[in-house]
Amino acid sequence: MDKKLDYAPCGYIVFTREGRIEETNETMCDILSSTKTEINGEHLNNILTKASKIYFQTYFTPLLMMHTKVNEMYLTFVTSEGEETPALINAQVRDDMVECAVLQMKIREEYEQQMLFDKRNAERILEETDKAYRQLQGLLQEFEQKRWELTMLNGELEQLSITDSLTGLYNRRYMENRIDDLLEKAREDTVPFGVIMIDIDLFKVVNDRFGHQAGDEVLKELAQVLEGGVRSDDIVGRLGGEEFLILLGSAGEKEAVETGKRLCQLAADKVWESTAVTVSVGVSVYAEGDTQRELLERADQALYKSKADGRNRSTYHGHIC
Is residue 242 part of the annotated active site? The answer reads yes
Residues 6 or more apart whose Cβ sits within 8 Å of residue 309? 315, 320
Beta bridge partners of 101: 12, 90
Give, to the nearest 10 degrees, the angle between helix 212-228 and helix 203-210: 140
Residues 6 or more apart whose Cβ sits within 8 Å of residue 301? 282, 318
Single out the catalytic residue among 242, 255, 273, 288.
Answer: 242
In the sheet where 279-285 sits, what is the strand order? 235-240, 243-248, 194-200, 279-285, 314-316, 319-320
Beta bridge partners of 314: 281
Return d(Cα 154, Cα 106) in angstroms, integer. 68
Helices (H), the chain: 3-6, 26-32, 36-39, 50-55, 61-67, 106-161, 172-189, 203-210, 212-228, 253-269, 292-308
In sign, the C-alpha dihedral spanning 67, 73, 79, 84 is negative
The catalytic residues are 242
